[in-house]
Amino acid sequence: MPHIIGKRIVLREYRQEDVPDIRKWVNDPEITRGLSDVFIYPHSQVNSESFVQMMIDGNPEIKGFVIAHKDTLDYIGQLDLFKINWVNRHATLGVVIGRDGDLGKGYGREAIRLLQKFAFHTLNLHRLELEVYAFNERAHRCYLACGFKEEGRLREKLFREGQYYDIIQMGILRSEYEAAQQATES
């Protein structure tokens, strides 16, 4: 799969040498707190290796990329489309910036915008969707800035650290993405 090149980052294929970088964040509660319940439990070396191998081998329902520095191709995080429905032309987006030092630098926003273009123009998807936890304000702002709209709220569906939180459902249609692109170019 060719790289998708941005201003500061590239979206590239997963590689076996990404496993150590993934291992650094996958059991870090500061990073995983805002991610799915899969990360509540410890992940072994074998879990991480199996995931990377699955991404290398390919799966029709999951298409993923490593977010990497443009100059070095060093791992920053990852961005995956999963639950891809090829009949109805939609997919769910998942993103993680795996190193604390790379948070807040706009890498996630740039990666999402690159992936939106790929999803809508190359894969011909009609819709992208995601869920974000209400306490994850940084991610929520990022998704809004990338054109996602709030479509629903699952009240107190998530339990973290002794408290219940809402899960916000968000989505963007291809037409909304294209309208935003045209407005930016004007």
Q: What is the pLDDT of residue 37?
A: 73
Residues 6+ away with beta carbon under 8 Å from 69: 8, 9, 10, 76
H/E stretch holding 55 reads helix 45-57
Residue 103, Cβ neighbours under 10 Å: how many? 15
DSSP letter (8 states) at residue 39? G
The count of structural domains within the chain is 1
pLDDT digits (tens, 9 = 90+) for 130-171: 999 999 999 999 999 999 999 999 999 999 989 999 999 999
Q: What is the pTM of this model?
A: 0.91
Which structural domain range is residue 85 located in? 4-185
Question: Which residue did the predictor score with more confidence, 144 or 61?
Answer: 144
pLDDT digits (tens, 9 = 90+) for 64-116: 999 999 999 999 999 999 999 999 999 999 999 998 888 899 999 999 999 99
| CATH code at position 51 | 3.40.630.30
